Amino acid sequence: MSKVIVHSLFSEFDIDLFKAGKHFRLYEKLGSHPMELNGEKGTYFAVWAPTAKSVSVVGDFNGWQGKSHELNVRWDGSGIWEGFIPELGPGTLYKYYILSNNFGIATEKADPFARLCEHPPKTASVVWEGDYSWQDGNWMDTRGDKNALDKPYSVYEVHLGSWKRKENNDFLNYTELGEELVKYVNEMGFTHVEFMPIMEYPFDPSWGYQLTGYFAPTSRFGTPDEFKQLVDKLHQAGIGVILDWVPSHFPEDAHGLGFFDGSHLYEHPDRRKGYHPDWKSLIFNYGRNEVRAFLISNALFWLDQYHVDGLRVDAVASMLYLDYSREEGEWEPNIYGNNENLEAISFIRELNETVYGNFPGVQTIAEESTSFSMVSKPVHMGGLGFGMKWMMGWMHDTLEYFKKEPIYRKHHQNDLTFSMTYAFTENFMLPFSHDEVVYGKRSLLYKMPGDEWQRFANLRLLYGYMFTHPGANLIFMGGEFGQSSEWNYNQSLDWHLTQYELHSGIQELIKDLNKIYKSSPALYEKQFSQEGFQWVDYGDAENSVLTYIRKGHNQEDDLVIAANFTPVPRTKYRVGVPKTGTLKQLFNSDAKKYGGAGSKKMSVTTENEPWHGYDNSIEITIPPLGIVIFQ
């Protein structure tokens, strides 16, 4: 086997950008790149290891022997080791053997920029050269409009390893998912899918939230090109793709980023800032220029190379606060004496500015559970720059309310109405995510009180309320057909339940809610604006009824919504309306097709009887544990 030939893909300008933390296409330079040099085919390798005494490429081609293929360190102090090895090509298994100047510590590491990794539990990197031809030009040309904040955003959250499995419990691969998942999401009417992390991860019970291969789609389901094909097919079906992305922490696995070159290279050296007590993982050093460039390059990589339409950034709250999950004495205040992580905040702002500056048609979404202000406001206004933020307070308050027996709900009406006091402080997405259906929290269906009829009626009401509340929507897989059991990452969803009328009824309800959401401008044109919502009456706690109006740009599109949170039908219930005419019923959660009692569609004409502060009103029936929508 030939020895390493001195070669570089880096210009001096590249190095200057890298040192300054401003090189955001590092994946084009670092990592392994099959290429031809002076007429000879081989692979160029480059890795950042500034405290290394030597770095060698080891792999199946040299018997994993330490120093036979030693890379050359650059002269410019960048800490980058590089070189070209002839004859090596795609499919080569490799790692970096790093001997450190730090007490002679030796580490054997997977390539942080590898495009493909071995199937876990194996841990080697794989030289990869893709050859995929995208067919999603129409989507890419128009996605800026489809992804805009005044367009429908109904998201189906998916864990690829457990959405559906084969009879022997094997995974569906990316190609099979490209047929079955795309068809299903299209039929259900969701506008976007959100994949829980698909970057390579070593440990299945982490669900993908502890990454070791930041630039590699997990090999559990196939190759990088096959994952591209899955994204492509979703785009061709008019469905956007959001990826969960984890810049908040990474695991201590021996082959991963931790203690990479015998020093705290990627993680913060101070354990008070560099170790996460909840997840027993390491925290990135957001103040180090090269680490910022690594992370921002990674975000852009998925948007660039995989045509992804959005990044949902995991665990943002843990990044923002120095005392997150820490006791007194376990953290150190910042220079201003408070608990904000200024380096992480600076990183997040630069991330969002860079993402939107390079890919204006995408969205970033923060999973952020605290009252940190202006998360979804632009950086130039002093915000963090995200496009949206998960509305965790709404989710918590709403589920707590629905868990209560209806007889007690009149004492807790404020749990539902409180969200409107802050609903427009951020661009909120309403999530019923995977976190709500694990670890003994029960499925959404079994959070509901009462007998079987009441549970399903409550779930239909919950979804109707969700889709008519201001904000975008997210439902975790299985919730759309009322899965009975908690989510189990290690097996398929309980698809057999859809043969039963009540479960298939929930499916039909979600289909119709998605149709109504996408065809009703009042539900999305001003979904993040106070102008898009108006209470009719939030004070009828005695009957546990809420009535409200959703508004778009044109008054003719306005919707009147009435929700009854008790099992007692509200007949001849009068609702004030702002204009005269006939109102058509668009939706009734008690319809027979949804598993309800069969309430019929109806139209009502306004009467010249003042009510709720309006000159006119309508008289309607609100079904038990039901919600109705009129236009």
Task: Write the DSSP string, 348-414.
Answer: HHHHHHHHHHH-TT-EEEE---S--TTTTS-GGGTS---SEEE-HHHHHHHHHHHHS-GGGGGGGHH
- Distances in Å between the Cα of 236 and the Cα atoms of 135, 179, 183, 334 are 8, 12, 11, 48
Between the two ends of the chain, the Cα-to-Cα distance in Å is: 74
The yes-or-no verdict on residue 600 having pLDDT over 80 is: no
Arithmetic mean of pLDDT, 232-252 = 97
Q: What's the whole-number mean pLDDT along residues 379-394?
A: 96
What sign does the dihedral 415-420-421-426 (CA atoms) show?
Answer: positive
- Arithmetic mean of pLDDT, 567-583: 95
Mean pLDDT lowest for which of 350-364, 368-382, 548-562, 596-610?
A: 596-610
Report the predicted TM-score, pTM, of the whole model to 2 decimal places: 0.96
Is the pLDDT at 355 greater than 90? The verdict is: yes
Tell whether the model's pLDDT for residue 22 goes beyond 90.
yes
Residues with Cβ within 8 Å of 623's Cβ and at least 6 positions away in sequence, in order, are: 564, 569, 588, 589, 590, 596, 597, 599
> Residue 235: what residue type?
H
Task: Using pLDDT thresholds of 50, 70 and 90, give the confidence band for residue 1.
Answer: low
Query: Is the preceding peptide bond at 112 cis, omega within 30 degrees of 0?
Result: no
- Crossing angle (nearest 10°) for helices 224-236 and 137-146: 60
Element containing residue 19 per DSSP (H, E): helix 12-20
User: What digits encode the pLDDT tens for the residues 431-478?
Assistant: 999 999 999 999 999 999 999 999 999 999 999 999 999 999 999 999
Q: Are 174 and 450 in contact (CB under 8 A)?
A: no
pLDDT at 601 over 80: no
Q: Where are the beta strands (DSSP E) in 26-160?
A: 31-37, 40-48, 52-59, 72-73, 80-86, 93-100, 106-109, 116-117, 125-126, 154-158
CA atoms within 13 A on the CB side of 98: 33
Indicate the pLDDT class of residue 287, thresholds 50, 70 and 90: very high
Average pLDDT over residues 294-323: 97
CA nearest neighbour of 158 among 222, 211, 230, 219: 230
Whole-angstrom distance, CA of residue 315 vs CA of residue 97: 32
Which SS3 state, helix, strand or coil, does residue 550 take? strand
DSSP string computed for 500-529? SHHHHHHHHHHHHHHHHHHH-GGGTTTTTS
Q: How far is CA 276 from CA 17, 210, 327, 334, 344, in A?
A: 30, 12, 12, 18, 14
Computed over every residue of the chain, the mean pLDDT equals 96
Percent pLDDT > 70 in the chain is 99
Rounded (5°) CA angle 177-190-304? 65
Contacts of 191 (CB under 8 A, 6+ apart): 146, 151, 152, 153, 154, 155, 239, 240, 514, 518
Identity of residue 194: E
**397 band by pLDDT with thresholds 50, 70 and 90:** very high
**pLDDT tens digit string along 404-426?**
999 999 999 999 999 999 999 99
Band the pLDDT of 203: cuts 50, 70, 90. very high
Collapsed DSSP state (helix, strand, coil) of residue 319: helix
Distance CA 526, CA 544 (A): 27
Q: What is the CATH number of domain 12-109?
A: 2.60.40.10
> Is 562 a residue whose pLDDT tops 70?
yes
Q: pLDDT tens, 470-510? A: 999 999 999 999 999 999 999 999 999 999 999 999 999 99
- Among all residues, which ones are annotated catalytic? 314, 367
Residue 111 has pLDDT above 80, yes or no: yes
pLDDT at 57: 97
Residue 541 has pLDDT above 70, yes or no: yes
Q: Do 12-109 and 530-630 agree at the fold level?
A: yes
What span, in angstroms and rounded, lies between the C-alpha atoms of 595 and 498?
Answer: 12
CA angle 366, 311, 249 (to 5 degrees): 70
398: closest CA among 415, 412, 411, 413?
415
pLDDT of residue 324: 95
Residue type for 594, please? Y
The predicted pLDDT at position 55 comes to: 97
Alpha carbon distance 92, 66 (integer Å): 16
530-630 has which fold?
A: Immunoglobulin-like (2.60.40)
Q: What confidence tens digit (pLDDT) does each residue in 48-76 have?
A: 999 999 999 999 999 998 888 999 999 99
Question: How far apart are the C-alpha atoms of 34 and 44, rounded to whole Å?
Answer: 6
**Sequence ranges of the domains in the chain:** 12-109, 530-630
Burial bucket for residue 138 (CB in 10 Å: 0-12, 13-18, 19+): exposed
Locate tokens 């499919």: which residue? 91
Taking each continuous run of H as one helix and of E as one strand, the counts in the chain are 13, 29
pLDDT for the residue 103: 84
* Contact call for residues 574 and 630 (beta carbons, < 8 A): no
